[in-house]
Amino acid sequence: MSFAWAKQYEPSNGLMRWVDEKLPLPRLVYNAVGAGYPVPRNLNYMWNFGVLAGFALVLQIVTGVILAMHYAANAEVAFASVEHIMRDVNWGWMLRYAHANGASFFFVVIYLHIFRGLFYSSYKAPREMIWLLGVVIFLLVMATAFMGYVLPWGQMSFWGAKVITGLFGAIPLVGESIQVWLLGGFAPDNAALNRFFSLHFLLPFVTAGVIILHIWALHIPGSSNPTGVEVKSESDTVPFHPYYTAKDGFGLGIFLLIYFAVVFFLPNYLGHADNYIEANPLATPANIVPEWYFWPFYAILRAFTFDFILPAKLWGVLAMFASILLWFFLPWLDKSPVRSGHYRPLFRKFFWFGLIPCILVLGYCGGAHLSPWTIALSQLATAYYFLHFLVILPLISSFEKTEPMPYSITDAVLNADKKPVLGENTSPAV
């Protein structure tokens, strides 16, 4: 992005001048995350999670590449090779716990990043493309995480793979053929494990590519901010470096404290005991559940139990995919001209008392043993989920009376912004 006041890169020595002439990489970095990127000065800590998600991806790639040096993608020995990593590889236990819990923390920061986007309506024009690419990244990360969980070839790996690939079997007529083709067999086995490993290695790099597009698209309009008021003048911004590098550094420290506490003290808390039993196609676990980060979507899948015109299973699959794909349409569904949830009283109520409890209930039900209670709860929460995004969100802007917004970001921060060049400040005194 270039605001008129964005600083231009000036090589400080001969070497950098030489590099910058041949390949303006230093310039790119300077403009992307350096002093050449002016950012709204009022970002709160919810704006830390993009950088943290990027950090989590790097962490996963680094630990994952080393783990791949010791792992064997063969159904005969995969489970034993993971135990070899845990017992015999130097610091292998730490790498594996860092990678397994790294996936969980990746999802924690991604979910917070998405909720930030939803609350502050970061998806609205002119930032639709950033949001669309973000949803693509989320789908890629979900696919990567699912295939990664299959690799240790424990009971949950195997049965999780069986259930999820079984979803393709719900497609009418061609479903079962597609399922067999995708798995390379009638049930997950060596062929499936090998292709999952190959894709699990590939997709993070595809993700990294889409992240570059995501950040590129971000730099066209620049970051949004908690007020949702666009940047108007230089006093609304601070350069990314050192202001946000310092703030992100502190955020990273907090993230690492929690992450390492889990890696070293509770490494199996987020996992499932059954995955320490080697995969056995003849013994079905009592309760097949995915990892926690899929629970809300798993609950939606299981909420459909009645064959209404289409088979219940197909409804579940459609709803589960729809629950994420509908995010692609949010920029065109939410018509309110006001971005930030701070100035939208009705939206805010539905967000905090509708959507958030709904997701938490779905998450709980997706991980719980099936019982009449959890099924009923997940059905009500699923109903609300679709109502929220597809009915409530498109409609509330029609009858919501939004609250007065600050005149500018500077006004919001300093409670004063008197720059005659911008015209009269009509914002009511706070």
Do 274 and 154 touch, CB atoms closer than 8 A? yes
> From CA 168, how far away is CA 183, in angstroms rounded?
11
- Exactly one of 14, 337, 372, 420 binds other proteins (CB under 8 A); which one? 372
The binding track of 26-45 with respect to other proteins, each residue x by CB under 8 A or -, is ---------------x----
How many residues comprise the chain?
430
What is the DSSP track for 82-140? HHHHHHTSTTHHHHHHHHHHHHHHHHHHHHHHHHHHHHTTTTSTT-HHHHHHHHHHHHH
Could you tell me if residue 332 is left (phi over 0), alpha (psi between -120 and 50 degrees) or otherwise beta?
alpha
Q: Any known ligand binding at 219?
A: yes
The binding track of 321-360 with respect to other proteins, each residue x by CB under 8 A or -, is -x---x--x--xx-x-------------------------
State the catalytic residue, choosing from 157, 272, 274, 291. 291
- Exactly one of 60, 382, 400, 408 binds other proteins (CB under 8 A); which one? 382
Q: Identify residue 195 by its one-letter amino acid code.
A: R
Asked about 403 being catalytic, the answer comes back as no
Backbone angles phi, psi at 98, to 5 degrees: -65, -35
Interaction with other proteins in 388-417: which residues (CB under 8 A)?
389-391, 394-395, 413-415
Angle between helices 372-387 and 356-367 (to 10 degrees): 150
CB of 205 to other proteins, least distance (A): 28
CB of 177 to other proteins, least distance (A): 26
Q: Report residue 73 as tokens.
A: 């993608």
Nearest alpha-carbon partner for 34 in 42, 26, 24, 46: 26
Asked about 84 being catalytic, the answer comes back as no
Q: Identify residue 202 by its one-letter amino acid code.
A: L
Residue with tokens 């709160």: 44
Asked about 291 being catalytic, the answer comes back as yes
* Segment lying near other proteins (by CB under 8 A), choices 5-13, 140-148, 159-167, 307-315: 307-315
CB of 243 to other proteins, least distance (A): 6
Q: Any known ligand binding at 200?
A: yes
Those residues whose C-beta lies under 8 Å from the C-beta of residue 189, and which sit 6 or more positions away, are 75, 183
Residue with tokens 């499936």: 192
CB of 377 to other proteins, least distance (A): 10
The binding track of 91-110 with respect to other proteins, each residue x by CB under 8 A or -, is --xx--x-------------
Asked about 230 being catalytic, the answer comes back as no
Interaction with other proteins in 221-280: which residues (CB under 8 A)?
238, 242-243, 246-247, 249-250, 252-254, 256-257, 260-261, 263-265, 267-268, 273-274, 276-277
Q: Any known ligand binding at 70?
A: no
Residue with tokens 């509770």: 266
> From CA 162, how far away is CA 281, in angstroms rounded?
10
Q: Identify residue 118 by its one-letter amino acid code.
A: L
Q: Containing H/E element for 9?
A: none
CB of 251 to other proteins, least distance (A): 8
Backbone angles phi, psi at 259, to 5 degrees: -60, -50
> From CA 312, how far away is CA 304, in angstroms rounded?
5
> From CA 301, how far away is CA 306, in angstroms rounded?
12
CB of 184 to other proteins, least distance (A): 25
Those residues whose C-beta lies under 8 Å from the C-beta of residue 294, and which sit 6 or more positions away, are 142, 145, 146, 366
Kindly tell me which of 191 and 325 has the beta carbon lying closer to other proteins: 325
* Segment lying near other proteins (by CB under 8 A), choices 32-40, 68-76, 106-114, 302-310: 302-310
* Segment lying near other proteins (by CB under 8 A), choices 32-40, 137-145, 192-200, 306-314: 306-314
> From CA 219, how far away is CA 106, in angstroms rounded?
23
The binding track of 45-84 with respect to other proteins, each residue x by CB under 8 A or -, is -----------------------------------x--x-
Q: Which residues are catalytic?
A: 219, 223, 247-248, 291
Instruction: Please give the residue ranges that form the binding site for other proteins (CB under 8 A).
Output: 41, 80, 83, 86-87, 93-94, 97, 238, 242-243, 246-247, 249-250, 252-254, 256-257, 260-261, 263-265, 267-268, 273-274, 276-277, 286, 303-306, 308, 312, 315, 319, 322, 326, 329, 332-333, 335, 372, 375-376, 379-380, 382-383, 386-387, 389-391, 394-395, 413-415, 430
Q: Annotated binding site for a ubiquinone, which residues?
A: 219
Q: Annotated binding site, which residues?
A: 99, 113, 200, 214, 219
Q: Annotated binding site for heme b, which residues?
A: 99, 113, 200, 214
